[in-house]
């Protein structure tokens, strides 16, 4: 099974910062990766599909990139409402979520 | 509008079988796949299995021996049954609509909390 490793586990940043979250697959996943945001007490929300496609209604400060085994979610200017845990999810071979990155305000 | 709602018991005895229902509205089960995703408290989500739009199924290899997913298209319902429950099966269980076949969970139910305890 493909393993997804997210780093860092916890990230503290200030409002307005550019934030980068990483997700590394144990083998090539051919860009078959989504990103989800989960706020406390809520179901996850789809942010990015197929590596770099912004889901409808998601602010343009969110973007995704990557290829092969290494993928990134970037928030260009952190807002208070972005405090959440972020998960990557691969569907190239089987279907696996990463362990998450918890994003906090500094 | 698109909605999914999970229903089922909140408490299950160890070694017993969990039965959950996902009732959907606003889309057809013959046009979109539906997945079950669970999440232990404080941990990341785990994809459990899928009812494909064509009626086929797919399962997480770690759960395959215990898990069964079925549907009733006339009632717009997808069912999950998992046997031999243990305490580490405790968590929130979600059903999701798969926007792009096997990815892009664009709509989620509210989730149902399942506790495995005697």
Chain B contact present for A92, CB below 8 A: no
List CB contacts (< 8 A) between B58 and chain A: 95
Q: Give pLDDT, residue B100.
A: 84
User: How far does the CA of residue B75 sit from the closest CA of chain A (Å)?
Assistant: 24
Contact residues, chain B to chain A, C-beta under 8 Å: 35, 37, 44-47, 50, 58, 60-62, 94, 99-100, 102-106, 108-111
The CA distance from B40 to B23, in Å, is 22
Q: Other C-beta atoms within 10 Å of A65: how many? A: 14
List CB contacts (< 8 A) between B46 and chain A: 97
Beta-carbon separation of A34 and B105 below 8 A: yes
Q: For chain B, where are the E strands, in sequence order?
A: 3-7, 11-12, 18-25, 33-39, 46-51, 57-59, 67-72, 77-82, 91-98, 105-108, 112-116
Beta-carbon separation of B108 and A32 below 8 A: no
Q: Give pLDDT, residue B102.
A: 74
The CA distance from A62 to A52, in Å, is 10
Beta-carbon separation of A100 and B44 below 8 A: yes
The tens-digit pLDDT sequence of chain B (118 residues) is: 999 999 999 999 999 999 999 999 999 999 999 999 999 998 999 999 999 999 999 999 999 999 999 999 999 999 999 999 999 999 999 999 999 877 889 999 999 999 999 9
Q: Which residue of A has its CA nearest to B4?
A: A43
């Amino acid at each position: 099974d493909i393993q997804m490793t997210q780093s860092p586990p916890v990230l503290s940043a200030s409002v307005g910062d550019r934030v980068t979250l990483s997700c590394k697959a144990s083998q090539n996943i051919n860009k078959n990766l989504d990103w989800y945001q989960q706020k406390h007490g809520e179901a996850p929300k789809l942010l990015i599909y197929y590596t770099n496609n912004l889901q409808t209604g998601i602010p343009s400060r969110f973007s995704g990139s990557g290829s092969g085994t290494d993928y990134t979610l970037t928030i260009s200017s952190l807002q208070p409402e972005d405090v959440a845990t972020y998960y990557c999810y691969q569907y190239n071979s089987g279907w696996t979520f990463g362990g998450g990155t918890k994003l906090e305000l500094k | 509008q698109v909605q999914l709602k999970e229903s089922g018991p909140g408490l299950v005895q160890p070694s017993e079988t969990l039965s959950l229902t996902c009732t959907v509205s606003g889309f057809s089960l013959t046009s979109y796949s539906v997945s079950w995703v669970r999440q232990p408290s404080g941990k990341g989500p785990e994809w459990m299995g899928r009812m494909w739009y064509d009626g086929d199924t797919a399962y997480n290899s770690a759960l395959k021996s215990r898990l069964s997913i079925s549907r009733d298209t006339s009632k717009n319902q997808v069912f999950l049954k998992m046997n031999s429950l243990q305490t580490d099966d405790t968590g929130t269980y979600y059903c999701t609509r798969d926007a792009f076949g096997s990815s892009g969970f664009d709509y989620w139910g509210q989730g149902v909390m399942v506790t495995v305890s005697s």
